[in-house]
Amino acid sequence: MPRLVRAHKSAHGIDGLVAARTLEAQSEAHVAEILKAADAAGEAVVPIGGGTLLGIGNRPRRFDIALVTKRLSALHVYDYRDLTIGVGAGMTVAKFSATLAQHRQFIPLDAPNASHATVGGTLAAGWLGPRRAAYGRARDLLIGTTTVLADGTIAHAGGRVVKNVSGYDLSKLYVGSLGTLGVIVSANFKTLPLPPQFRLAVAPLPEGTRERAAQHVQRLEIEPTAALLLDGFRDVLPFEIGPEGAIVLAFEGSPSVIERATRSTRSALGAAGVPATRIVDAAAHEMFARIVDAYVATVPGRSLTLRVLGLPGGALARENAAREALAPTPALLDAIVDLRNGDAILRVFVDGRIDPLAVRGTLSDAVAALRARLPEATLLARGLVLDGEIDAWGSPPEALEMMRGIKGRFDPRGTLAPGRLVGEI
């Protein structure tokens, strides 16, 4: 009999479905024990870190056990002079960042709600932060993993060194798998030296300036580490953002580089008809975190947030397409457009005057209208229960059958997060 450790009465619901029971993993071996038993008993297990990104993916077909990894939070090894670190998957992103900061290092996971989000959950959810064009995705900084498979097999991949081609790079497969192949229990990363200074440049956009401003931002002589256009999300920034939103640029580096970047940004945005660029230094980290939190911030009961990926050059066009698609519907739109990576984050919501009973239908129709233009839009966060009514994923990938084959080989009994991934994998 596996040790059954009951968690606090925190119901980790996924789209309205709540697990029959919640277990807190105590160790790698414990995870193996739980999975093996569940697999044999035909029980479905969904691994859960901080539960901050459960809005990604479909409602599981079955949900018997919520396996919470938060206690697997140990710092296993931090060779800061090697610029590598290994942690338990349940360490929070905030703790992870604080640990790294002690040695003036960082790993820009840029996960929302960092004080609750876990490292393992951020990996499993395939979180894509706004600084990835500058520093790499989580998958690019990940150098090794330990993962427990549905049958209890403990599988290592990669290692603790920064350069490694020894066997298949299975860690890549687990990133973004939403726990459908295995439960990540620990992860090793290469770390980056923390740049000496972090500055945000915030430019409210006057009428008719956004297209040109976006183009100028994409050609800046010093590249920002993040370049976002906030259109809506008026509560995120502590000042007026202009009729066409605001551009927020992050610059990181030495003081002289930051000064040069600021000068060239002011002149480029000035040439695009954007007169004022505010500088945020002391509060920059906090403000940046608020923006990242906004990616999954919901309007309770009234919003669905979708993400569309693509080339940076088409990012603004994707937001425009979303606005056009939603125009005939009662739905409203807040958007974050990532000018470096190309993502459009689209928070579709309705105002409070709509009959609460009609909200789900209205949003469902709005998402259908949006997907008619942007079929690849995937769900990122939800402010209401959908009961599986909307597929969280957009158009399926070409290699879906191959993915199904891999799922079948790793988890033949469908024990792990069944149905959560694209194509109901």
Partner 1 sequence: MTVVAERLVAALGPDAVHTDPEDLAVYAFDAYSENRLPTAAVVPKDVREVTQIVRIAADCNEPIVARGAGTGLCGGAVPTQGGIVISFSRLNRILWIDSANRRARVQSGLINLDLSKAAAHEGLFYAPDPSSQKASTLGGNVGTNAGGPHCLSYGTTTNHVIGLEFVDHRGEVVTVSQEDAGYDLTGILVGSEGTLGVVTAVEVRLLRLPEAVRVYLATFADVESASEAVSQIIGAGIVPTALEIMDKVITGAVEAAFHAGFPEDAGAVLLIETAGLADDMDGLELALARIAKGSGALSWRSARTQAECDNLWAARKGAAGAIGRLAPNYYIQDCTVPRTKLPEVMHRVDEIARDHRLVVGNVFHAGDGNLHPLLLFDRSRPRDVQAVADAGTEILDTCIAFGGTISGEHGIGYEKRESLTRLFSADDLATMGRVRDVLDPARRFNPDKIFPSSASCAEVRSPA
Site for partner 1 in 209-238 (CB under 8 A): 218, 221-223
- The residues in 260-279 that bind partner 1, with binding defined as CB under 8 A, are 260
Could you list the beta-strand ranges (E) of 71-220: 75-79, 84-88, 105-106, 142-149, 154-158, 182-190, 192-193, 197-204
HSE of 331, CA atoms in CB hemisphere, 13 A:
31
Q: How far is the CB of 152 from partner 1 (least distance, A)?
A: 10
Which of 185, 172, 152 is CA-nearest to residue 410? Answer: 152
Q: Which residue reads 């959950």 in tokens?
A: 121
What span, in angstroms and rounded, lies between the C-alpha atoms of 425 and 177? 10
Binds partner 1 by CB under 8 A, chosen from 8, 163, 207, 282: 163
The residues, any chain, with a CB within 8 Å of residue 381's CB and separated by 6 or more, are: 55, 56, 295, 296, 297, 298, 303, 304, 305, 347
Which lies closer to partner 1 via its Cβ, residue 17 or residue 257? 257
At residue 76, the 3 state secondary structure works out as strand
What span, in angstroms and rounded, lies between the C-alpha atoms of 174 and 124? 6
- The residues in 130-159 that bind partner 1, with binding defined as CB under 8 A, are 136, 139-140, 149, 153-157, 159
Binds partner 1 by CB under 8 A, chosen from 16, 42, 193, 375: 193
**Distances from the Cα of 140 to the Cαs of 137, 162, 335, 424, in angstroms?**
5, 10, 27, 27
At residue 55, the 3 state secondary structure works out as coil
Binds partner 1 by CB under 8 A, chosen from 40, 41, 161, 358: 161
- The residues in 236-255 that bind partner 1, with binding defined as CB under 8 A, are 253-254
Q: How far is the CB of 342 from partner 1 (least distance, A)?
A: 8
When asked if residue 194 is in the footprint of partner 1 (CB under 8 A), the reply is: yes
Binds partner 1 by CB under 8 A, chosen from 102, 240, 256, 300: 256
- The residues in 336-365 that bind partner 1, with binding defined as CB under 8 A, are 342
When asked if residue 177 is in the footprint of partner 1 (CB under 8 A), the reply is: yes
- The residues in 373-392 that bind partner 1, with binding defined as CB under 8 A, are 376, 378
Which of 247, 216, 218, 219 is CA-nearest to residue 231? Answer: 247
- Considering CB under 8 A, how many residues would be counted as binding partner 1? 73
Which lies closer to partner 1 via its Cβ, residue 178 or residue 299? 178
What span, in angstroms and rounded, lies between the C-alpha atoms of 200 and 223? 13
When asked if residue 29 is in the footprint of partner 1 (CB under 8 A), the reply is: no
Q: How far is the CB of 341 from partner 1 (least distance, A)?
A: 10
- DSSP character at residue 195: P
**Distances from the Cα of 80 to the Cαs of 7, 95, 98, 112, 258, in angstroms?**
34, 16, 13, 25, 26
Binds partner 1 by CB under 8 A, chosen from 22, 52, 58, 84: 84
What span, in angstroms and rounded, lies between the C-alpha atoms of 390 and 371? 11
Q: How far is the CB of 135 from partner 1 (least distance, A)?
A: 10
Which lies closer to partner 1 via its Cβ, residue 301 or residue 396? 396
- The residues in 41-60 that bind partner 1, with binding defined as CB under 8 A, are none
Q: How far is the CB of 103 from partner 1 (least distance, A)?
A: 8
When asked if residue 10 is in the footprint of partner 1 (CB under 8 A), the reply is: no
HSE of 407, CA atoms in CB hemisphere, 13 A:
23
Binding to partner 1 by CB under 8 A, coded x per residue (else -) over 305-334, reads ----xxxxx---------------------
Angle separating helix axes 255-271 and 210-217, nearest 10 degrees? 150
Q: Tell me the backbone φ, ψ of residue 34, rounded to 5 degrees.
A: -65, -45
Binds partner 1 by CB under 8 A, chosen from 29, 170, 289, 354: 170
Which lies closer to partner 1 via its Cβ, residue 173 or residue 294? 173
Choices 39-47, 114-122, 267-275, 417-425; region in contact with partner 1 by CB under 8 A: 417-425
Q: How far is the CB of 326 from partner 1 (least distance, A)?
A: 22
When asked if residue 82 is in the footprint of partner 1 (CB under 8 A), the reply is: yes
